[in-house]
Structure 1
């Protein structure tokens, strides 16, 4: 079962609906992160950049932007979105097909981002370790790594009784989540009306995992990161019931 093919047509609107507004997300990055912790930010690397929704706002704010994603379909949509912004001028951004656990861009950045709990798509702890190591190697001294996760608490809550439906005209997208071992699987069902009037079902699966916050903290410190903040994105104060958590880390 393939991922991010048919679902990509609905992806941006659904992701926005499941998370905070894009405006709030950008304000958080610009003011709570960049303005707060970086005296000067020239270039940004976004890992798992997806379709470029965050990229678009960062480029509009004047940042030099590089986006990396493992999915060619995502990058194609991102390129289309960003080209429309820059009217074909690609000087302000660069998009790269690559794996965020194994990349070598031969460049250091002021800020590395990984938004919308994208790190959770790495299904092994070894891949998370590689992610931290690669990020460290691509940061300038004093640069920031900023990423968010869905916590284990959040995933466990979702799998208890979860189904969401999104209507797009005559088409419907249904999201369900199931737990298989330590992996949480999103089952995506897309019901599309055909010219005949019948409906065709498309199915895709997206897999995610999470790890304990203390284990993540120890691994970051092991990789010589200073943890500046761990934030409950919705409420600020981290608790045992936090659902979405941001890590703000500085390269020593």
Structure 2
């Protein structure tokens, strides 16, 4: 089963701890709408952040590899009466976007691109899609989270409607993790339906991302951590990177 295939149905309920409003604030702080209108959400998933950015005033488009995620996103946009174009596309094959003011790859989406050359290609294609002065915003799991926190599994969750058991193991690459999750979702007849998901993520040292971005041609790169303006520390969990073309 492809990553996120059935997970799309329960994804939003399991992402309630993500402070999406802080992500919007991060973008608005450095790319105010008055000067930056066209925004592409790469790895938009079920469209939660894309819709929030649309409501904030950006002209948003979204791309995601998973058509299941996009189906959920499309229903969300229709319910909100939002006109947000959505495209099924792998981020390392990004094409058809030009003169963007802002591109984002949010909520560790780029960590699902596990081939190093594909990560570099993704950054190159984003660079080509931005206007001069346009900005890329993205976040990744830290080395500490990948190498230490994730490997303390199993993790469990149970809210009476959704239950999961989440096992992890070191991946084939340095700073990579294999995720195996078993979900039990309540159905209308009072029974639980089980499905399993296998995900694989990989991250790199923040300095490596900066090196790639500079080599590609980004003029300035800024690195912070954990929804703050502070530089990453040894036990930071999420690294935020902003690059200006």
- TM-score, L = length of structure 2: 0.90
Measured on the aligned residues, the alpha-carbon RMSD in Å equals: 2.0
Count residues in correspondence.
242
- Structure 1's unaligned 5+ residue stretches are none
Shift of 1:211: 1.0
Counterpart pick for 1:131 among 122, 137, 148: 122
Q: After TM superposition, what 4+ stretches of structure 1 lie above 3 angstroms from structure 2?
A: 192-200
Shift of 1:102: 1.1
Counterpart pick for 1:55 among 39, 50, 57: 50
Counterpart pick for 1:220 among 209, 213, 225: 213
Query: Helix, strand or coil: the match of 1:192?
Result: strand
Name whichever of 176-185 and 234-243 sits farther off.
Answer: 234-243
Counterpart pick for 1:169 among 147, 160, 168: 160
Name whichever of 184-193 and 75-84 sits farther off.
Answer: 184-193
Alignment of 1:144-223 (within 5 A): 144-182=135-173, 183-193=176-186, 199-223=192-216
Is the contact made by 2:221 and 2:243 (CA closer than 8 Å) also made in structure 1? yes
Q: 2:36 aligns to what?
A: 41
Query: Helix, strand or coil: the match of 2:235?
Result: coil
Question: Is 1:113 matched with 2:104?
Answer: yes
Going from structure 1 to structure 2, the CA distance change for 1:194 and 1:232 (only over 3 Å counts) comes to closer
Counterpart pick for 1:231 among 207, 219, 224: 224
Query: Helix, strand or coil: the match of 1:132?
Result: helix
Going from structure 1 to structure 2, the CA distance change for 1:124 and 1:198 (only over 3 Å counts) comes to same
- TM-score, L = length of structure 1: 0.88
Query: Helix, strand or coil: the match of 1:16?
Result: coil
Query: Helix, strand or coil: the match of 1:60?
Result: helix
Going from structure 1 to structure 2, the CA distance change for 1:180 and 1:170 (only over 3 Å counts) comes to same
Shift of 1:13: 2.2
